Amino acid sequence: MGYPDWDTIRNSTFVRHRYFPRLAEETPSFMGLPIASTPEELKGADAVIIGAPYAAGWGSQYAGVDKSHWLASPQRVRQQSIRYGSGYIQDFNLNVFEHLKVVDFGDANIPPEANDQPTVANVLRAQAAVEEKVNQALDAGAIPIVIGQNSPCGSYAIGKPIAERTKGKVGCISLDTHWDAARLDNATRDPRIAGSGSWKHKLYEHFPNYDPKNLVEIGERGMLENQNIVRWWLDHGANFYPMWRVRTELGIEGLVKELRHAYEGTKNVYVHFDMDVLGGAGPAPGDILGELAEPIGMTDYEVIRIAHEIGKRGLAGFSFICIPPGSAVIYRTIVYVIMYMLAGIAVSRIGAGKSDAGKAGAGKATGKAASRPKAKARR
């Protein structure tokens, strides 16, 4: 892997003269934002950055890539974010942080042994550590943004607290190369584990307020999936947009219109980006994904655009897994996804403030809710 060391990053052109808070010697806060060390310091936050460095399975590799590269992703995303001097996005002539309060809440306290000794007990402890941070963010009325790598810590552990707090249906927007919808975790065969291949099934099995009719599934393609699994979801109303359909029929403009299915009749929306969806079409070679790389991947623009459109519509929580390891520009892509999503929220709020009550945009991502997370998803 060719990822630069911290000294190289710290002394690079865009970083060398900049001060920023640090979570550790080689870990700046995301975008140089304030660090929240306690739940009390989350008060007033609109969004909260949380790291969830967890790599599934026994042994030293995941998907043919050394686990150290997967586990470093929350740190490396933060390292790459520090090259940007502010929240100003010139594309929109908008400084995100003039409209939203965002803080870095550090990493979940995942037990190190969960990454090389993934017994059922250790995996459940790792999941609980992420849930604790997510719940604390939701308690503060903020959107948890979890930079993870594997399930359940980067998926189920975010979708579960949202479901538990929502009085009504929860929509889901999922970008992925794989459905992750097997009935059992392949590594443990334990029904309590919402693992890499089973987390989506477990989320919908355990929480009836997740309805397949409000699932927007984007990005899968090719011959890897079990036909019975895919057809079950289609038969139960899932809104599926394989890359073939995106490329031949919808395009990005048509695709973003289909996000509406996650918002129809729901109270909140959970958003999950499995970044192996980039395949070989992103800003770095697909081979850095090891065994997870597949052709006809999404582009970086498509992923960032979808995140921005989601921000405009509203969301309750956001999670990442399978961030392609080792490429600085890929980690920058995650920074863009987060920032352009936050820009979408800011744009929606500005629009709501300029329009009369009840007009378009007035109900999206605005204010706190007494019984559910901030940034309520509204049609």
pLDDT tens-digit profile, the chain (379 residues):
589 999 999 999 999 999 999 999 999 999 999 999 999 999 999 999 999 999 998 989 888 889 999 999 999 999 999 999 999 999 999 999 999 999 999 999 999 999 999 999 999 999 999 999 999 999 999 999 999 999 999 999 999 999 999 999 999 999 999 999 999 998 899 999 999 999 999 999 999 999 999 999 999 999 999 999 999 999 999 999 999 999 999 999 999 999 999 999 999 999 999 999 998 888 888 888 889 999 999 999 999 999 999 999 999 999 999 999 999 999 999 999 999 999 999 999 999 887 543 333 323 333 333 333 344 433 3
pTM of the model: 0.93
User: What CATH homologous superfamily does 6-354 map to?
Assistant: Ureohydrolase domain (3.40.800.10)
Residue 314 CA to its chain's centroid (Å): 14
Distance CA 48, CA 136 (A): 10
Supply the angle between the helices 120-139 and 156-165 in degrees, to the nearest 10: 50
- Give phi and psi for 226, each to the nearest 5: -70, 125
Three-class SS state of 357: coil
- Give phi and psi for 360, each to the nearest 5: -55, 135
User: Residue 175: how many CB atoms within 10 A of its CB?
Assistant: 25
Q: Which has the closest alpha carbon to 243: 214, 280, 283?
A: 280
Q: Which has the closest alpha carbon to 209: 324, 346, 371?
A: 371
- 345 DSSP 8-state letter: H
Q: Which has the closest alpha carbon to 163: 311, 42, 314, 316?
A: 316
Q: What's the Cα-to-Cα distance from 194 to each of 93, 208, 377, rounded to whole Å?
A: 41, 16, 25
Distance CA 89, CA 134 (A): 27
